[in-house]
Amino acid sequence: MDPQFEQILRSHLPFLPAGDPLDAGADLVGLGLDSLGIVQLLTALESEYQVAFVDDALSRETFETPGSLWTVLSKLRSIDA
């Protein structure tokens, strides 16, 4: 995960204290990511990384953890590169 990804993700996790580390295996729903937050997060990531999340990437598994989201985003970035 790069610092920009972590910064964007943290801004959508209201239950993650600012000083706490963001573990790749953390439960995003448990950290406060809800359905509206997912939409806002997608918009921010697509804008920042100039990618489009395709239908296959829009699954519950994608948004389970920071690591799973980063994996999907990385694959999208390599496709668009």
CATH number of the structural domain spanning residue 76:
1.10.1200.10
C-alpha span between 19 and 42 (Å, rounded): 24
Where does residue 71 rank: exposed (0-12), middle (13-18), buried (19+ CB within 10 A)? middle
Could you tell me the pLDDT band of residue 80, with boundaries at 50, 70 and 90? low
Over the stretch 39-59, which tens digit does the pLDDT of each residue have? Answer: 999 999 999 999 999 888 899
CA–CA dist 31, 60 (Å, integer): 15
User: Which amino acid is residue 74, in one-letter code?
Assistant: S
User: What is residue 16's DSSP assignment?
Assistant: S
Mean per-residue pLDDT, 19-28: 96
Q: How many domains does the chain have?
A: 1
**Per-residue pLDDT at 69:** 98
Print the domain residue range for 71: 3-13+21-80
DSSP state of 71: H
- Please identify which residue in the block is written with the tokens 């439960």: 27
